[in-house]
Amino acid sequence: MFTVSVALATMLLAPQSAAPFEEKIPGTLASFKMQPIPALPGGKPFYISTTEVTWDVFDIWAFRLDQSVEDQAKGVDAVSRPSKPYGAPDKGFGHKGYAALGMTYLGAQTFCQWLSKKTGKKYRLPTEAEWEYAARAGATSEPELDQVAWYWDNAEDKAWAVGTKKPNAWGLFDTLGNMAEWAVDKDGKPVTCGGHYLSKKGQIGFTARAYQIPKWNENDPQNPKSRWWLSNAPYVGIRLVCDLP
């Protein structure tokens, strides 16, 4: 858990030198927005995506939409692309504008590697400290959940399109609720942050954390179970960090 003082948070809200940017995936119509975040004490400033990564972007990697039909048929790049899921990966919640979900930590990381190669920038998952710092955006108390988050009380047991609730002070949407977001904890282990659309009050918030448990891929009928998809965790997603040059 990481907290910042009110004074520090206020200071950090001061005008930032770096400007937001929109990342367009070359050769496609997909894009997403990156927001500059002031440096953590002792750290460097970084960018973080304003929304959870949507299928519009994730599909390009996961379903090889950037490859020719011939390359797909030849299995080009097969080791760094997910296996094809048996079923609807979006679980029928919605696709365009909805957060990509149910990827394993390996999938989340490999997606970041692909995106970095594709864009020439360094994309990665946030550390737990970065995630919480960005999610709080200087807030010292928990927000009014219904205003900012899709969760147990309002989500009707499904994910919602990203960016349809109020953003935080730094313009980030859905940090709490919708998807629990992959991050790297202080020991380098994968952890999900913030809670998700099935989280109840008390399970959702800046300090909410969940580590993967066997239940998350229990119903994968294959053995070995997929390295890429979590059959029973349609509430895990990705928020991207990009390091400032």
158 interacts with other proteins by CB under 8 A: no
- Residue 51, CA distances (Å) to 62, 87, 192 in order: 19, 25, 15
What six digits make up the tokens of 234? Answer: 């349609």
**Under DSSP, is residue 192 helix (H, G, I), strand (E, B) or coil?**
strand
Instruction: Pick one of 64, 81, 124, 239: the residue that binds other proteins (CB under 8 A).
Output: 64
Instruction: Pick one of 20, 27, 43, 87: the residue that binds other proteins (CB under 8 A).
Output: 87
CA 105, CA 123: separation in Å to the nearest integer?
15
Positive or negative: CA dihedral 183, 185, 188, 190: negative
CA 238, CA 180: separation in Å to the nearest integer?
8
CA 16, CA 12: separation in Å to the nearest integer?
8
Q: How far is the CB of 68 from other proteins (least distance, A)?
A: 10
73 interacts with other proteins by CB under 8 A: yes
85 interacts with other proteins by CB under 8 A: yes
Range 77-85 contact pairs with CB under 8 angstroms and sequence separation of 24 or more: 80/110, 80/113, 80/114, 82/107, 82/110, 82/226, 82/228, 82/229, 83/226, 83/227, 83/228, 83/229, 85/226, 85/228, 85/229
Instruction: Pick one of 83, 140, 154, 164: the residue that binds other proteins (CB under 8 A).
Output: 83
80 interacts with other proteins by CB under 8 A: no
In this complex, which beta carbon is closest to other proteins, that of residue 11 or of residue 78?
Answer: 78
74 interacts with other proteins by CB under 8 A: yes
Instruction: Pick one of 43, 86, 106, 243: the residue that binds other proteins (CB under 8 A).
Output: 86
- Residue 52, CA distances (Å) to 28, 43, 173, 240, 245 in order: 19, 23, 8, 8, 22
95 interacts with other proteins by CB under 8 A: yes
31 interacts with other proteins by CB under 8 A: no
CA 224, CA 190: separation in Å to the nearest integer?
20
Binding string to other proteins for residues 188 to 227, with x set by CB under 8 A, is what? ------------------------------xxxxxxxx--
In this complex, which beta carbon is closest to other proteins, that of residue 24 or of residue 215?
Answer: 215
Residues near other proteins (CB under 8 A), total:
29
Q: How far is the CB of 73 from other proteins (least distance, A)?
A: 4
What six digits make up the tokens of 82? Answer: 């997910």
Q: How far is the CB of 226 from other proteins (least distance, A)?
A: 9
Q: How far is the CB of 45 from other proteins (least distance, A)?
A: 36
In this complex, which beta carbon is closest to other proteins, that of residue 2 or of residue 93?
Answer: 93
Interface with other proteins (CB under 8 A) = 59, 63-65, 69-70, 72-75, 78, 83-90, 92, 95, 218-225
